[in-house]
Structure 1
Amino acid sequence: MGCRKNKHQVLELLNGQDLAFVLGEMRQFAAKDAVNALFSSICRENPHVRWFAISCMGEAVARLAEVEMEEARIVMRRFLWSLNDESGGIGWGVPESMAEVMCRHAGLAEEYIHMLISYMREDGEDICQDGNYIEHPLLQRGLLWGAARLSDCRPELLLAKGAAADIPPYLESEDATTRGLAALTVGNLRLKVAEPVLLRLTGDPAGLSLYRDGVLKETTVGALAQMALEAMN
């Protein structure tokens, strides 16, 4: 009953409009209780609830890591398992939640950022090539949102793990959201090699929704490409 009550209370909070207020209220829950209550919300169809849940999940897991690092690792492994074909699930909201956690906790970022990057890479013949490429278009959106989030908060770590080679191909994605998020990422990472493609994309009128700083707003691929070019110069 306690767990069910927590989920109900958390869902009510996630319907709020001020992320800072929601995060503050979520701190009233023990970190582990908050994490357990949030799992069902990071995959909600309602975009407002889902994105606020992702933000709250990031802080809750980071809080958990400060008191029980191994418990936080268990949560991260649970995320990874949900993206595994053998799990029987799809992993909605998982790449985004992993990225949010890693933005908020340096230790978990060091341990798990290579796994997030692996979902952009094909598996290779060599034993050291351990790609886990995600083909599902909607999961790719989540993955690229995660890359964009990390490029804003931990760009050096992304670059150190070789992500500079993994992001630019997504600029050619057929999906507008993926293209736009890739543009945002290469801009944050100052990837000059992508400038010619970004210049072309400034004329791309395709629309997308972008969640940033607790706000979900409408933009275009062209606007994000222009923003990326300005970030490089």
Structure 2
Amino acid sequence: MPNHPARSRQIKTEMARVFSEMDTEACRTFLASLSPRKAVNPLFSLLLHPEPLVKWRAVQGFGIVVERLAEESMEAGRTVLRRMMWQLNDESGGIGWGCPEGMGEILAVHAGLAEEFHQVLISYIREDGNFLEYGPLRRGALWGVGRAAEKRADLMEKASEPLLGFCRSEDAEECALAARALGRLKARAALPLLEVLRADTREVVLFLDDTLRPWRVGEVAGEAFDRLRRVSAEKRV
């Protein structure tokens, strides 16, 4: 999806300003004003932005832009996801910053692409799959799985098993993200682990519910635990 280089730089500069200064709704309005094909390359560039909020707005932007792109052409939507997959491949020579998160956002907003690509996203957290060895990328995949699970719990169900393992991780962010995802998946098998994690006072900074802020692991696990308890109670009625 080539862009004219000068125009692409202009879009990237304005996009970064909007993402940094505006709220979620204003960012959506701005993205809606752009051609989705011209927005893709600037979004990829902003996944590398040093300001965390700009990076997360870019992640959200992929959901908005690729949903529109796929309405025009499903193949164009697939191309974006394949580009993310390639960047996460060792052979690409890249790192793939933000790509697992972008994949999760796209799958959350587009049912057709979720049907086709959900197993790829899950594979990034499975040791018998395309497991991401590098911690920051793996945490990105856990965020992506949780985001997809918010809207596509039926498709993401097979993520439950590896997520249970991440609840025992020594990495606080992995624990928190796995706990949140398990709550969205309504994985009742996670209740004992989540009950233990509720007492975890370690603090992590997460982008959840359109907000980037500090969370305690126990706070995230507690929300997931309460969600699963409600599900269990409803099933008994």
Place the TM-score, normalised by the shorter chain, in its bin.
over 0.9
* CA offset digits 1:110-164 (Å, max 9, x no partner): 11111001111233xxxxxxx11111111111011111111211111111xx222
Partner of 1:127: none
Partner of 1:137: 135
Structure-to-structure mapping, 1:54-203, within 5 angstroms:
54-123=59-128, 131-159=129-157, 162-203=158-199
Question: 1:26 touches 1:56 (CA, 8 Å); kept in 2?
Answer: yes
Structure-to-structure mapping, 1:10-89, within 5 angstroms:
10-89=15-94
Question: 1:190 touches 1:231 (CA, 8 Å); kept in 2?
Answer: yes
Aligned residues: 224
Partner of 2:205: 209
Task: State the shift of 1:21 in Å.
Answer: 0.8
Task: State the shift of 1:43 in Å.
Answer: 2.3
Matching residue's letter, 1:179? C
Matching residue's letter, 2:192? P
CA RMSD of aligned residues (A): 1.1
Q: Aligned partners of 1:192 and 1:104: how far apart in 2? A: 25
User: Which consecutive segments of 4 or more residues in structure 1 shift more than 6 A?
Assistant: none
Larger relative helix fraction: 2
Task: State the shift of 1:213 in Å.
Answer: 2.8
**What secondary structure does 2:45 align onto?**
coil
* CA offset digits 1:30-83 (Å, max 9, x no partner): 001111211110122211100011101111011100002111111110000000
- Give TM-score, length-normalised by structure 2: 0.91
Structure 1 unaligned regions, length at least 5: 124-130
Matching residue's letter, 1:223? E
Task: State the shift of 1:9 in Å.
Answer: 1.5
Question: 2:31 touches 2:64 (CA, 8 Å); kept in 1?
Answer: no
Q: Aligned partners of 1:113 and 1:6: how far apart in 2? A: 30
